[in-house]
Structures are given as structure tokens and as C-alpha cells.
Structure 1
């Protein structure tokens, strides 16, 4: 009877040992399979996120360029105030000359046609 018990115990030990060896031998394969499964499921979503981020980056770069261009235009306008003042002075001179011409023209018309004035 002792020999039979010993055989049962040896069988249990060898079965457990075999099972442990099987698990250890297949563990890397299972891990790689799970990893592959995860990558296959998540890769399309990650690729879409990457494409979205690249699109947003391009839009942002375009917006940044537009803002920088507008800022430089505004800065350059501050330096053109001298030119605007010069234009304003020339316009005032032109208006005064036009008034003088109108006055001279109306005097000339009155001198030729004394009854119209």
C-alpha cells in the first residue's frame, strides 16, 4: 500500500511539474499573443489620432503665421504715421488751393457777368 501511495504522490508531483513546465514554456507566447491582439485593436485609433494631430498642427502653424504677419503689419503701420501726417498736410493744402481757385473763379464770373452776382 505504501508503494501505491508513493506512486500517487509521484504522479501528482510529476503532473504538477509538467503543468508548470507547460505554463512556463507557453507564457511568452501567450504574452506576445495578447500584445499583438492589443496592438491590432488599438493601432487604427492611434493612427487616426496621429493624423488628427498632424492636421491640427498644420492649421495651428497657418494661424500662427497669419497672426505674426498681422502683427508685423501693425508694427510697420506705427512707423508710417509720419507719412500719414504728410499726406494729411498735403490734403489740407489741396483743399485750401481748391477753395482759392473757386473764389478766383467766382470773382472772374462776377466780373464778366455783373448782373449774375
Structure 2
């Protein structure tokens, strides 16, 4: 009995049984792991892309400040133009045309 239980062909048979029972589960685990790896690679790419975009935004803050300054300057200039235009409309205009030198002397 001891010799039959330890015979190499019996050991190979037991290994074959074990492989047949556990192989489908191992294949499923492998498939699940590959799927999780793909999902995590996609998430890593998304995070890296977002980090890059944020870094580019912080690098461009100088440009945004320049744009802000130019807009404020343009608004101030527009206000000055509006004020100057308002003053010119308030100045009284002479109802009679100015006399020229030729019209001043009758002759």
C-alpha cells in the first residue's frame, strides 16, 4: 500500500487533478487582474494628463495677469473717452456762424 501510494504515476495523477480543478479559477483571476491593470493604466493616464494641465495653467498665470492688466487699462481708457465725449457735448455751441474777414467789411 505504501509503495502504491508513493508511486510516481499516482503523484502525477494527483497533480493533474489539482491542475484541472484550480486552472479555471486561476485563469479567471488572471483575466480579472488584466482588466484591473487596464483600468488602472487608464486612470494613471488621466491623472497624469490632469496634472500636466494644472501645471500648464499655473505656468500661464503670468499671461493671465497681463491680460487682466490690459483689460483694466482698456476699461480706464474707455471711461476717459466717455468722459471726454460727455464734456464736449456739454459745451455750448454758438447758434450763429462765425464771421469771416470778408464778411466783416461791407463794401
Aligned to 1:67, the other structure's residue is in SS state: helix
Range with bigger deviation, 70-79 or 41-50? 70-79
What residue is the counterpart of 1:55 in the other structure?
35
* Rg larger for: 1
The yes-or-no answer on 1:106 pairing with 2:82 is no
Unaligned runs of 5+ residues in structure 2 are 93-107
Please tell me the root mean square deviation across aligned C-alpha atoms, in Å: 2.4
CA separation of 1:111/1:86 partners in 2, compared to 1, >3 Å: closer, same or farther? Answer: same
The yes-or-no answer on 1:90 pairing with 2:63 is no
TM-score normalized by the length of structure 1: 0.66
Structure 1 residue 107: Cα displacement: 3.2
Unaligned runs of 5+ residues in structure 1 are 1-18, 113-117
Structure 1 residue 102: Cα displacement: 2.5
> 1:40 and 1:20 mapped to 2: Cα distance?
26
The yes-or-no answer on 1:34 pairing with 2:14 is yes
Range with bigger deviation, 58-67 or 103-112? 103-112
Aligned to 2:54, the other structure's residue is in SS state: helix
> 2:42 and 2:76 mapped to 1: Cα distance?
48
Number of aligned residue pairs: give it: 93
- 1:53-99 deviation line (CA, Å, top 9, x unaligned): 01111111111111111112222222212111110111101111221
Query: How do 1:73-88 residues align onto structure 2 when only pairs under 5 Å count?
Result: 73-88=53-68
